[in-house]
Structure 1
Amino acid sequence: MEHTAISYNECSQMLTDIEQKCFKQFLTSYSDNGKYLVKEHLVSGGMGSVLKVMDQNLKRPSAMKILQPSLRNNEANLNNFIAEAKITGLLEHPNIIPVHDLGLNPDNGIFFTMKLAQGEALIDILKKIKSGEQEYAEKYNLFSLLDIFVKVCNAVSFAHSKDIIHQDIKPHNIMIGPYGEVLLMDWGIGRFIGDPEKEQDPFKKEILKEIQFLSKETKGKIVGTPSYMAPEQIRGDPLLVDKLTDIFLLGATLYHITALEYPYHGKDSYETLCKAARGNPVPPEKRNPSRQIPFELSRIIQKAMSIWKEERYQSVEEMKEDIEALCSGKWFQYQKKKFKPGSVLIKENEAGDEAYLILNGRVRIFKEVNNQKIELGIHSQGDIVGEMALVNNKKRSASVEALEETEVAVLNSEILLQNLKNMPPYMEKILLSISSRLRDANNRIHPNLNKDCTYLVLKQIRLLYSDPARPKGFLPLEASVKEIAGDLGLSKKRIIKALSTAVRAGVIICKNNKIMIPDMDELINFTELTRICSNQDMQCV
Structure 2
Amino acid sequence: MPDPPRDPPDAPLLAALTDASFERYWKAGALKYRNFRPLAEGGTATLQTCVDANLGREVVFKALHPHLADDEGEQQRFLREARVTALIAHPGTVPVYELGRRADGSLYFTMKKLVGQNLRELLMSLAAKDRAVEPDWPMPRLVDVAISAAHTVAHAHSRGVIHRDLKPANILVGAFQQTTVLDWGLAKVRMDAPAAADDAAAGAGPPLAELQTPEPPRGPDAVGHELTRPGRRYGTPLYMSPEQARGDADLDERTDVYNLGSVLYEILALKNLIVGNELEEVMDRVLNQPPPPPSAVAPAGREVPPDLEACCLRALAKDPADRQPTMTAFADELLAHRRAGRRGRRRPWLR
* TM-score, normalised relative to structure 1: 0.54
2:221 maps to which residue?
none
Specify the SS of the correspondent of 2:273. coil
Specify the SS of the correspondent of 2:348. coil
Aligned with 2:348 (options 306, 328, 333): 333
Residue 95 of structure 1 contacts residue 183 of structure 1 at CA under 8 Å; is this kept in 2? Answer: yes
Residue 22 of structure 2 contacts residue 54 of structure 2 at CA under 8 Å; is this kept in 1? Answer: no
1:256 maps to which residue?
266
2:174 maps to which residue?
177
Aligned with 1:294 (options 275, 299, 305): 305
Q: Distance in 2 between matches of 1:110 and 1:256?
A: 36
Specify the SS of the correspondent of 2:113. coil
Q: How does 1:112-511 map to 2 (within 5 A)?
A: 112-195=109-192, 206-210=210-214, 213-239=224-250, 241-290=251-300, 291-329=302-340, 330-331=344-345, 332-333=347-348
Change (3 A) 1:277 1:204: closer
Q: How far 1:130 sits from its partner (Å)? A: 0.9
| 1:111-134 CA-partner distances (Å, limit 9, x unpaired) | 111110101111111111111111
Change (3 A) 1:144 1:211: farther
Specify the SS of the correspondent of 1:222. coil
Q: Distance in 2 between matches of 1:50 and 1:162?
A: 27
Further displaced range: 76-85 or 204-213: 204-213
* TM-score, normalised relative to structure 2: 0.81
Bigger Rg, structure 1 or 2 = 1
Higher RCO structure (Cα 8 Å, ≥6 apart): 2
Q: Distance in 2 between matches of 1:52 and 1:190?
A: 24
1:473 maps to which residue?
none
Gaps of 5+ in 1: 1-21, 335-541
Specify the SS of the correspondent of 2:286. helix
Query: What percent of counterpart residues are identical?
Result: 28
Q: Aligned partner of 1:147: which letter?
A: D
1:60 maps to which residue?
57
2:70 maps to which residue?
73
Q: Distance in 1 between matches of 2:151 and 2:229?
A: 29
Q: Distance in 1 between matches of 2:115 and 2:286?
A: 32
Q: Give the structure with the larger strand fraction.
A: 1
Change (3 A) 1:134 1:40: same
Q: Give the structure with the larger helix fraction.
A: 1
Q: Distance in 2 between matches of 1:104 and 1:38?
A: 18
Residue 37 of structure 1 contacts residue 56 of structure 1 at CA under 8 Å; is this kept in 2? Answer: yes
Residue 158 of structure 2 contacts residue 207 of structure 2 at CA under 8 Å; is this kept in 1? Answer: no
Q: How far 1:194 sits from its partner (Å)? A: 3.4
Gaps of 5+ in 2: 1-20, 217-223
Residue 279 of structure 1 contacts residue 307 of structure 1 at CA under 8 Å; is this kept in 2? Answer: no
Change (3 A) 1:211 1:94: farther
Q: How far 1:150 sits from its partner (Å)? A: 0.6
Residue 285 of structure 1 contacts residue 292 of structure 1 at CA under 8 Å; is this kept in 2? Answer: yes
Q: Does 1:90 align with 2:113?
A: no
Change (3 A) 1:26 1:182: farther
Q: How far 1:146 sits from its partner (Å)? A: 0.5
Residue 85 of structure 2 contacts residue 184 of structure 2 at CA under 8 Å; is this kept in 1? Answer: yes
Change (3 A) 1:279 1:26: farther
Change (3 A) 1:250 1:109: same
Q: How far 1:276 sits from its partner (Å)? A: 1.2
Q: Distance in 1 between matches of 2:24 and 2:159?
A: 41
Q: Aligned partner of 2:121: which letter?
A: D
Q: How far 1:69 sits from its partner (Å)? A: 2.0
Change (3 A) 1:101 1:292: same
1:49 maps to which residue?
46
Q: Distance in 1 between matches of 2:293 and 2:33?
A: 48
